[in-house]
Structure 1
């Protein structure tokens, strides 16, 4: 019996947008990290949407003649903001709460007199990341706040959240990032009542202040150099004019895509990816020794020592694993740029700790989402 096709819900359509917003722990959970900034703006925009809904409802009641006193029939309007600090899992969060002239507005997300919102930031974002339907979102809000919220209000709130996500993804970038990592990971996403693989493209940069910044995330069916070319063009249009070192995996055509947009950029092949690919050809019992011998290549003090170490590796292992030495020789010109830099910079370049932390966090979110 064929499965009944389930139409994609609005909440399902939000999933791709929300994935573009997620950052790794270092960038998202810091004192002024994205989560805290986004939480502040999300709550403030949601409160504005609540007030808009409230004023619209009052206006409809006036037109219908159901608003009691004659004096109350004067159309209500916005009346600025007042400052309020709420306490959540991310610490103290100062927000601007909108108010109306007749003081009839009762916020739902941040009720009057309430200043402690345990877990609010994570729970609000989780409503969308889980791909909930409108009814599910209403149930969550009922559980969180003990109030009934209309579907219209939920729609208004999600609309402003989507706009915040789009603004983050399209935000202007700095003109120069000394180091940029470009990577893609395959994740399982539920779509049309099926679980399928999709590629999440990540670009992480280090700015001139030495701070890591997630420049953006994109979703596609598979990883390919053509899609990367589009991403790089978008980054340039957002203000990123130059990259000193671009760290990439061994995807065919990837370096050429970078050089087409940033011709002066030095493309550095990710050593971790290269070692992982090399060890695919080695039985488990010999992987530790092969990995150790490869380390003597990329951790050599000079380029000359690295070439000697590669020659020694070939003499030792080429008979058993000719594919490995062929792999390194084929990519040698993309491996050696790191030897032009001091040891501390080399470790930052050839390791993938920064981008891997983002990957782990993203996988964790998708796993808990289900």
Structure 2
């Protein structure tokens, strides 16, 4: 991705990080550790998020050193704080992508079989075109408000 889009920034899904943490800690600690992690990605700005991450690390590093190391060393976890506040809730998770992937799986399962790869490809392209048409005139929550800020941000990146 970086080779083709060198200025693109990657954001890992904080929901998936939470699930990963949850699967690697004791059941009795799950609620507490996930609440502490939630404070990281629900902070009002990057500074508060970094403070919450430091608190998270100090509190849990002795009990779960490998889990905490993986979370703290993930450089792509706080990328969404570089974007306007109105869209952060939409981009710290991959829910938009996952919903579409789930829809594709449901359509493919209903179809059951394809005579060849070309048929599958045509089917998928049709789904993609329908999706693009459906959402071409819609603005996802927060993006309308952030549109001018995003344009300024991307113009700055081009310079």
Aligned residue among 230, 251, 265 for 2:8: 265
Aligned residue among 298, 302, 317 for 2:41: 298
Render the CA deviation track for 1:252-291: whole Å, top value 9, x for unaligned.
Answer: xxxxxx1111111122222222222222211334322222
Aligned residue among 24, 30, 33 for 1:287: 30
Checking the alignment, whether the CA contact within 8 Å between 2:24 and 2:67 is kept in structure 1 is yes
Which structure has more strand as a fraction of its residues?
1
Aligned to 2:89: 347
Checking the alignment, whether the CA contact within 8 Å between 2:11 and 2:79 is kept in structure 1 is yes
Aligned residue among 107, 113, 116 for 1:365: 107
The gaps in structure 1 that reach 5 residues or longer are 1-257
TM-score for the superposition, normalised by structure 2:
0.61
RMSD value, Cα: 2.0
The gaps in structure 2 that reach 5 residues or longer are 114-159
1:320 aligns with 2:63: yes
* Secondary structure in structure 1 of the residue aligned to 2:19: helix
Aligned to 2:78: 336
Between the two structures, name the one with larger relative contact order (CA 8 Å, sep ≥ 6): 2
Aligned to 1:237: none
Residues 213-228 of structure 1: matches in 2 within 5 Å? none
Q: Offset of 1:360 from its aligned partner?
A: 2.1
Aligned residues: 112
Rg comparison, structure with higher value: 1
1:356 aligns with 2:101: no
User: Which runs of structure 1 show a deviation greater than 4 angstroms over 4 or more consecutive aligned residues?
Assistant: none
Q: Offset of 1:343 from its aligned partner?
A: 2.6
